[in-house]
Amino acid sequence: MSDLTNDAKNQLHEEEAKGRKEQAAGAFDEMKGKVKKTVGDAFDDKSMQAKGAAQEMAGKARKTAGDAHADAADAAGDAIDGLD
């Protein structure tokens, strides 16, 4: 295996890790949004309900972006493996 292939694989592992971190951060944001929305419901606080819903949606989007990032890096790694 060439040094170029090894370097590419290392870079892709780093990119996949970044994607996984984004997934985790998105899931955490989504959970925080759900909690805020629930607290807003409990106290009939429309502002907190809206902020919670927005944070939940942003978390879902961030998680989806992380999925795509990690999956793309994984697929590229598989393609490089096919060159060996």
User: What's residue 1's pLDDT?
Assistant: 54
Domain of 34, in residue numbers: 3-83
Predicted TM-score of the model (pTM): 0.83
User: What's residue 77's pLDDT?
Assistant: 85
Q: Is 44 left (phi over 0), alpha (psi -120 to 50) or beta?
A: left
Total number of domains constituting the chain: 1
What's the CA gap between 51 and 19, in Å, rounded? 25
User: Encoding tokens for residue 14?
Assistant: 């780093």
Longest Cα separation, the chain? 62
DSSP code at position 1? -
What's the CA gap between 67 and 64, in Å, rounded? 5
User: What's residue 27's pLDDT?
Assistant: 97
- One-letter amino acid at 44 equals D
Which ranges of the chain have pLDDT less than 50? none
User: What's residue 13's pLDDT?
Assistant: 86
